[in-house]
Structure 1
Amino acid sequence: MNSFCRIFVFILTFTFSCSAFGADGDGFSISSEIVQGVQRLGDEGKLVVTTPLDFEAGLGWGAVAALGATGLAYVYDTNVRDRLQTTRSDRLDKAADAGSLVGNPFLHLGVAAVVYGGGIVADSLRYKELGEMMGESLILADAATLVLKEATGRARPLTGSGKDNFRPFSFRSNYDSLPSMHTASSFALASVVSATTDSVLTRFAAYGAATFVGFSRLYQNKHWASDVILGAAIGELCGRVVTRYHASRSRSVSIVPLVSGESAGLALIARF
């Protein structure tokens, strides 16, 4: 599949999967939900770009730390790859296969759609918003990594061409290593789950699973260590931006377009 098509597939998968759980009716309008979702994504997308540059609020230092860690990992990319390839075993092979499956971005969007749809069916605003946050953070993380993947065109370790081989905008699957989309998607999901639960065990499990996904990509020789670290940072950034954005809207009043059946109008939405 052409890399440029991936993000559109991600968005359509999430949108239509969510729509399948409900139809225009009392208290729910697919049209207005889509409009609001697009508006939120636009606002959140701007924040993803500006937040790493916000040093006044201290947020920019997190970006500096992430880039520093990525740069340090880059120095040792070959050493890490070589060390992992000498520790292979049947048990680790199976575990890594499972980790790669769990980290599939399409699977994550499916989970977000199920949570969102379940919230609608159960008339639970909490789970509906959780599904929204999951989907939005995933779309942002996947979009950001897709752009960087094609812009850098870094060769995957399995090509055997070395960590310094870059072919920008080559649009080839073996030259889209930096950053890891599986890892970014996993950490975006973990960030949202962690921010919306009081359970320490749930937080540990979410980040533990995301970390193992990153390990599986290294073990399978699909990514360099620096790819995984940058992917994790992007996922965490997107997750935090989305959850903070939703939190800031928890007490607000907004007017949004509303289309239902043959009628159209404006809806006043208050959050308290």
Structure 2
Amino acid sequence: MRFFYLIIMLFFSTQTFAGDYKWSNFRDQHVDPFLQRSVDSTSLTLLATGLVAFYVTTPADNNIRSEWRNHQKISKDDSHAGDLMGSGAGGALLIGSQYFFDSNRDHWIQHTRALVWGAMITTVLKYSLNRQRPGNSDSHLSLPSGHTATAFTTATSLTYAYGWKAAVLAYPVAAFVGLSRLSDDVHWGSDVVAGAFLGYIIGRASAYETPEQTKYAADKYGTFYPVIAAGQSGLGWIYTY
């Protein structure tokens, strides 16, 4: 979860560090448009489809788990890679790349916004639904799969930013992350299905342009960015003068 904390800190620091930046600006950029898009006809259709897929998959959860336990399809090393990619580390690195190398600043803002909303919504759902993980685990944070939701949020954000070429690469990676959760026996199949739909809906709802008059409000005060290295993480600060 430390990667999500870094992403959230990055997002709020770059958007609110300026003294003349008010809550109304933040709400107009990152709250109201997201909420509107998350309940439009497309999102509601996706939500209904996801609920149907979830309820269709749920009766097969035990069979899916048994199949993966008896016929392991992903090696431990590959499964660990899926765990890392879905933890938020991959998204944080991509956001950093977008920030420094993509001339369209809306892309990294949209991606960050999507991951922040995704982290908050997924956490609320996990604690509210209180579903036990497979194998008589003491954890009751199974539904939805946060790793899968994060991976599909990133894949959808990249697709809206860069088109079908990004989708061809990003969605197979997201699907692999979901399968790695089954391989690790930490989620039910229906958890993964729910996470995939949730991630897509959040990524789509976050994909809109930021108003020009407020987009660069924090520039003159500098910008924080995530620093992620082996075994450690933190924040850096850039100030241009």
| TM superposition score normalised by structure 1 | 0.69
Counterpart of 2:127 in structure 1: which amino acid?
A: E
Change (3 A) 1:144 1:98: same
Match of 2:203 among 235, 239, 242: 239
| TM superposition score normalised by structure 2 | 0.77
Q: Deviations over 1:104-148 (max 9, x none)?
A: 1244134214422444xxxx2x1x211111101111111111100
Q: Which residue of 2 aligns with 1:191?
A: 156
- The sequence identity of aligned pairs, in percent, is 24
Return the alpha-carbon distance in structure 1 between the equivalents of residues 79 and 22 of structure 2.
Answer: 36
Match of 1:111 among 83, 86, 94: 94
Q: Stretches of 4+ moved more than 4 A in 1?
A: 5-10, 13-16, 32-38, 252-261
Match of 1:72 among 52, 56, 61: 56
Q: Which residue of 2 aligns with 1:224?
A: 188
CA RMSD, aligned part only?
A: 3.2
Return the alpha-carbon distance in structure 1 between the equivalents of residues 215 and 108 of structure 2.
Answer: 20
Q: Which residue of 1 aligns with 2:239?
A: none
Change (3 A) 1:34 1:131: farther
Unpaired runs of at least 5, structure 2? 222-241
Structure with bigger gyration radius = 1
Assess if the C-alpha contact under 8 Å between 1:14 and 1:113 holds in 2: no
Match of 2:39 among 30, 34, 50: 50
Q: Which residue of 2 aligns with 1:25?
A: none
Match of 2:117 among 137, 140, 157: 140
- Within a 5 Å distance, the mapping from 1:1-272 to structure 2 comes to 10-16=7-13, 30-31=17-18, 36=25, 39-47=28-36, 49-51=38-40, 54=41, 59-88=43-72, 92-119=75-102, 124=103, 126=104, 128-159=105-136, 174-200=139-165, 202-243=166-207, 245-246=208-209, 254=213, 258=217
Return the alpha-carbon distance in structure 1 between the equivalents of residues 75 and 22 of structure 2.
Answer: 42
Unpaired runs of at least 5, structure 1? 20-28, 161-171, 262-272
Relative contact order higher in (CA < 8 Å, ≥ 6 apart): 2
Paired residue secondary structure (1:175):
coil
How many residues were matched structurally? 218
Return the alpha-carbon distance in structure 2 between the equivalents of residues 94 and 197 of structure 1.
Answer: 30
